Amino acid sequence: MSTATNPADEEGSALGGGRKGFRYWAPAVVAASSMFLGVLDSSMMNVAVPAIARDLDTSVSALQGAIAVYSMVMAALIIPGGSLRAAIDTKRLLVATLAVYSVGTLLAGFSWSMAVLFLGWSVIEGMAAALLLPITYSLIVENYRGSDRARAFGAVGGVTAVGVAVGPMIGGTLTTYASWRWGLIGEFFVVLGIVALTLRYLESNPSDGRIRLDVGGTVLSILGIVGVIGGSLLAGHYGWVRPLRPLVVEGALVQPLGLSPAIWCIGLGAALLVLFVQWELRQERRDRPTLVPPTVLRNRTFAAGISTFASESLFLSGFMFTVPVFLQSALGLSAFDSGVALLPFSVATLVVAVVSTGWRRYAAQKRIVQAGLVLIGAGMLLLLGQTGLDQTVSGMILPMSVIGIGLGLFTGQLVDLTMSAVPESYSDVSSGVINSLSQLGYAFGTAVVGSIQLAAFYSDVVAGATLLSNGTAVTGEERRQLAVKLEDAVETTTQAQQQAFVNGLSPDVQRQLTEIIREAMVSAQRSVFVVLVLFVLVTLLASSFLTLSKPRRGRTREPSAAPRDAEPESASDGGESGSRSGSGGE
């Protein structure tokens, strides 16, 4: 790989000339393109959910589960997958990973059933993405320093925003005028382009190292993550704490202490993750291989950064999943129009992520991150206030732009601050931890918000239909039980049976039921935005633990080496200390 050999940080150099031509920036282009691929995939999937459900004769909740499993596979395998880079040439590993990804996206694109889509997208693509993300972050850390690294991370964040921007547009256009399948099949050609760039511009860097596998840590981390995310998936159907439905296995009721199986799975997963940390500490004391060196986790800035990342994933996943579904199901917009509605959010994220990369010279990165979170919360409150059946795409421009500006301020600065807090020798591990916890938060957030949305929707439909039929209201417990039965009935009937039932009703009743359903969707979406704002507040709280570094003005010489155990020294200078730990801070 090409690397920056000059240790000085040249602020004034243009991106194009001399030493900083395309070859110099090629690793960043490859990294950004790889990130673009993953984001494009998810954003296209979100906007096409209703169409996929119809085409494969499945439900929105089943697709919600597929999205969560995709995140679960990634979260479980990212950290173990990062250990491969210690012994495998990055160039070869990247090409092999992209080859696996192409198999998954083609299988998903040609899928003829939900099971095939699940295999291709959730499992195979998820496994490939688990290797792809650590490689992406490590390419930036290994090849750039100082402001160049900040620019590279900003570019990655910007290109990620492009994926968010064009994903709904591409997915919406293809879904509306052709088929959602073409989006997944088209990713194959994006993969070919990235492979071509990799073969042309990345240099092989064979390693004489060998994989030192931490078997116990690998098993504990995978089982812990699967337990937490698996429990979250169960919660949507069986309830979070109080059982919605009985779980029967081989004729035996599984309901320990009268609680939902979901809470037991989540608790077991959390306990295994705690045990994983203890195992890693024990491995370190005995000088044995570790999956995640405890030295990294002891770094205050890094620990606060990954916690903030995980928390951010909670609200971002819920936002990206529920908004397109609401726009298409409640307002009757096409998939293309849904993409247009998301465009101000995506464009604002892109522009701000790119232009704000140098703002750390004038303000502490922690403050920029927190300002972004405040804007995100404000934008969601604006959306909450205008959510209704009279909502228009033009009316969404302001709140969507505010959310996008906030996310643009948040993402690039937090990535740079977090990755710069640890020695460069730990770049693979640190990027793996960041992405693993992000995917964990993404899966958990999708499950939480999805279950809240569906529960609120069916509850309001039951209340409205009951009032319509006999003029009396139902109690909360009756509504809960009827909502479960209604959801079961919807999931066990075909679309043809549902349509036949509706056609058997009088036109007046059909009109009133349609109004009840649409109002229930609005009420459910409002409940979702309340939860998302609470998630933003939790993220803001997590960000308070980030180190408050001084704005970095002027030029600072790059360090030639960094101690492996360097950590922030205090709340006042921790950011600078973290940067000295192999970050190449300005």
Q: Is residue 160 part of a domain?
A: yes
If asked whether residues 225 and 308 sit together in one domain, one would say no
Number of domains in the chain: 2
If asked whether residues 264 and 116 sit together in one domain, one would say no
Q: Is residue 201 part of a domain?
A: yes
If asked whether residues 316 and 351 sit together in one domain, one would say yes
Q: Is residue 8 part of a domain?
A: no
Q: Is residue 7 part of a domain?
A: no
If asked whether residues 228 and 263 sit together in one domain, one would say yes
If asked whether residues 303 and 446 sit together in one domain, one would say yes
Q: What local confidence, expressed as pLDDT, does residue 561 receive?
A: 34
If asked whether residues 143 and 67 sit together in one domain, one would say yes
Boundary (domain end) residue, out of 235, 259, 288: 288
Q: What local confidence, expressed as pLDDT, does residue 429 receive?
A: 73
Tokens 């970050």 -> residue: 583
Q: Count helices and strands (H / E) in the chain.
A: 20, 2
d(CA 442, CA 64): 11
Q: What local confidence, expressed as pLDDT, does residue 577 receive?
A: 35
Q: Is residue 58 part of a domain?
A: yes
d(CA 215, CA 14): 47
* Strand ranges inside 362-493, DSSP E: none
If asked whether residues 277 and 201 sit together in one domain, one would say no
If asked whether residues 344 and 421 sit together in one domain, one would say yes
Q: Is residue 561 part of a domain?
A: no
Question: DSSP string covering 534-560, please?
Answer: HHHHHHHHHHTTS--PPP--S--PPPS
d(CA 471, CA 454): 24
Q: Per-10-residue mean pLDDT for the chain, 586 residues long? A: 39 42 80 79 72 80 78 79 67 86 89 88 86 77 72 69 65 74 84 87 67 81 87 80 77 80 90 91 86 82 87 85 83 80 83 79 89 95 91 92 91 79 73 76 80 79 70 62 62 58 71 82 90 94 85 47 36 35 33
Q: Is residue 496 part of a domain?
A: no
If asked whether residues 228 and 167 sit together in one domain, one would say no
Boundary (domain end) residue, out of 254, 288, 322: 288
If asked whether residues 249 and 360 sit together in one domain, one would say no
Boundary (domain end) residue, out of 288, 313, 340: 288
Q: Is residue 560 part of a domain?
A: no
Q: What local confidence, expressed as pLDDT, does residue 535 receive?
A: 92
CATH number for the domain spanning 306: value is 1.20.1250.20
Q: What local confidence, expressed as pLDDT, does residue 584 receive?
A: 34
Q: What local confidence, expressed as pLDDT, does residue 20 receive?
A: 67
Type of residue at 91: K
Q: What local confidence, expressed as pLDDT, does residue 570 receive?
A: 35
Q: What local confidence, expressed as pLDDT, does residue 339 receive?
A: 76
If asked whether residues 296 and 438 sit together in one domain, one would say yes
If asked whether residues 125 and 141 sit together in one domain, one would say yes
Burial classification of residue 384, based on how many CB atoms lie within 10 Å of its CB (0-12 exposed, 13-18 middle, 19 or more buried): middle
- Please give the residue range of the domain that contains residue 398: 22-213+289-457+524-552+568-580
